[in-house]
Structure 1
């Protein structure tokens, strides 16, 4: 059972990752990615993998493969926007971690104490029913019958709580787990830009001292602008993704929760009528 759940979890995480890469305006068009998700021939797939491992445009060389607007950027303005994004991502990292722990705890309770408590309530109703059966009376047939149905329904409600954990919380946990990994990578992306800005500032000082020519300074500025444009594009994409992902994530979670509790409420109201 554990292995089945683990496999399903890994499949779900993989699907979330694939969906996210497919939505990325750059990664989704990568030859490596397209080969990875479409090639069905094992030999060709391995050849493609080896070719990708020899790709010259990895790391910093990737910047030679992108085109950016010719309009120069205000490096101070870019720095401020990147710093704001960094603080935002740091806050998200803490919030997602906290929410993941809360949802995980609720998941355990639904399949554990909550389920057990409803089962025990059902057993308590069964005990009351047996007590009525000790001294049967036609006047108590209605309440005895209602207690039997209530005991059965309460046991069913307990089982439904365990199912709710899988239906409502598993998808939320997988999505949050995926985001924990994504947010943990943001500092590495930001550090590339910070290093570039640091290099720019260093060359600006050298230019003032006359140790770097204006031509060389312009070349450095162009390369840093390329990184800045790439960084700003990624910030825009991640901000948009955050909004869409959490909108869909919470809508799905709350819909399944609402459906569950409405169903339980309907069951309890129906049971209450049997005692009247």
Structure 2
């Protein structure tokens, strides 16, 4: 059979997978590989496995030009770069404004969806099918089915504008905050305050392990969770647009909200804008176009979104963020959603002005003795030691996580292809061997001496035992192999995806902290040399520990004065703000260690081991049940068992082969 490749697929190096490109033709050799994989040969003579869903059979009649048929539908032209993504639906709705009302009526279920672009979701029009469009390699990324989803799950989600966002938010912003060049203008309520609790360490100053974010214990003494469940395909515009909606239910109110992947993508952008200098944002699952509505993909994305949601809920800062807590997981009203969405994107409100380095204006550091007093100045030597150690740890961790994620991806793929196929092949071989003994059984039934009946009886037993052995291996390669990825490796891969994404965001935060410390050293050097320190007014600057702080505008109060007292005040303010940045970093380092290093990693490895033990125990139980069909007596070769076990227990694992060689 000859097939046409519809989508690019990149095979794993060193495996039996065949890389294919959209538009090329393949000759299918086998369709019984299983799990949606076929074996085929390309025009270069290369043979390998490829996803069956990525190709389409080429029929003879398709090669004949039929002028009576209209040309296939073409994809819409790409939007120009200047197009505002939030106005895509408005432009598309210009078309529907000319359609008679009998043909199109907007459903009330659309509610806030009109304000979301549909760049990653295609309509369900029957005039455009997958066979009518052959995407080029520039239109779609190379995406596989089960195995390739695990492959991409091993990579942290990347945001192309992440580095530029950090540079734009921090470039000069951290220096302006440290120098006091930004003057407060907008009052910030107490509910927006982020508090760091500092516990006194040794006499030389607080240690990093004594710094942590304070949780909102009054409202959620034990924290809260959000459950992502019930993904289902929905549509609007009379089926012209379809999408997958996920139901999210927070435990603090048990009110369900419906969100699409692009809603999560929008939320991720808002969190990055706001906390890029403070908190590493957990990554989302990678985008995928092909196979969006396949059952396995939908279930896997639900699990990956659950991992993202869990990471946000566990974090003391992100879990109480306004855009998350009071908007994304709670808003069910259309007007409130639109208002909240614009507020989250605006830079003119008290909550969302605090982006980039401005976020430090609402952070306060207090002592843990209950006095709510500012903690003592941080010890620079201890700080340098803690930060340098963590930087080395993160640098080494990135490579280890990447290697682990690749290993998990390869293991999952082998389970779904090689291991499963090998087990089924072994099972089929045993079953065929058992079936061959049926001939020996029939030829011995004619023996009337009595000995033939005995031979017939044991032959039938052996025949049945061999077939049952084959059934055991077939079950191992079928049901049990299907259960293993879901039971263990999938959730472990999701944890690694989040873990890698969070770890990969730390270098930018460490760079910002390094710049802040360098600015402090410059000011201290200028002060010691008698050079006026350029800075802002020391009065009313943000980051205070009072009930309400304020933030917002640039100021012309930046000045350089030679007054000694004013210089001392400026230097103390620079040191205080730098300490606040350092306390924030130490609090996040501790949160990372408690949550990901000690909590998530240990918990998921423990869970993986339990699933592995359960999996191999089922295999052992099945094989032990089959073993009982081979009686331990001379008729079934007990002498072989005794000889083999004697040498095997002595550590000579090659004796079994040597025994039969010497016979």
TM-score relative to the length of structure 2 = 0.41
CA contact (8 A) 2:435 2:467 kept: no
Q: Does 2:512 align with 1:192?
A: yes
Report the Cα offset of residue 186 of structure 1: 0.9
Q: Does 2:340 align with 1:48?
A: yes
How large is the Cα RMSD of the aligned pairs? Answer: 1.5
How many residues are treated as equivalent by the alignment?
A: 276
Q: Does 2:591 align with 1:237?
A: yes
Q: Does the residue aligned with 1:84 lie in a helix, a strand or coil?
A: helix
CA shift digits 1:176-231 (9 cap, x unpaired): 11212111111111112111101001111111111231111111001101101111
2:471 to 152, 172, 176: 152
Report the Cα offset of residue 166 of structure 1: 2.7
Runs of 4+ in 1 over 3 A off after TM superposition: none
Distance (whole Å) between structure 1 residues aligned to residue 304 and residue 520 of structure 2: 39
CA contact (8 A) 2:438 2:460 kept: no
Matches within 5 A, 1:58-97: 58-69=355-366, 70=374, 71-97=376-402
Distance (whole Å) between structure 1 residues aligned to residue 302 and residue 464 of structure 2: 46
Report the Cα offset of residue 253 of structure 1: 0.4
Distance (whole Å) between structure 2 residues aligned to residue 178 and residue 29 of structure 1: 20
Q: Does the residue aligned with 2:609 lie in a helix, a strand or coil?
A: helix
Larger Rg: 2
Distance (whole Å) between structure 2 residues aligned to residue 235 and residue 124 of structure 1: 55
CA shift digits 1:72-95 (9 cap, x unpaired): 112232122111111112222111
Report the Cα offset of residue 96 of structure 1: 0.9
Q: Which moved more, 1:147-156 or 1:73-82?
A: 73-82
Matches within 5 A, 1:81-230: 81-136=386-441, 137-159=456-478, 160-211=480-531, 212=533, 213-230=567-584
Q: Which moved more, 1:22-31 or 1:93-102?
A: 22-31
CA shift digits 1:126-176 (9 cap, x unpaired): 221122111312331111111121111110011112321232111111111
Distance (whole Å) between structure 1 residues aligned to residue 623 and residue 578 of structure 2: 65
CA contact (8 A) 1:75 1:197 kept: no
Relative contact order: is structure 1 or structure 2 higher (C-alpha 8 Å, sep ≥ 6)?
1
Q: Does 2:304 align with 1:19?
A: no
CA separation of 1:90/1:237 partners in 2, compared to 1, >3 Å: closer, same or farther? same
TM-score relative to the length of structure 1 = 0.95
Q: Mind listing any 5+ residue stretches in structure 2 that lack a counterpart?
A: 1-35, 37-144, 146-290, 347-351, 367-373, 442-455, 534-566, 632-663
Which one has the bigger helix percentage? 1
Which one has the bigger strand percentage? 2
Partner of 2:139: none
Q: Does the residue aligned with 2:329 lie in a helix, a strand or coil?
A: helix
Q: Does the residue aligned with 1:221 lie in a helix, a strand or coil?
A: helix
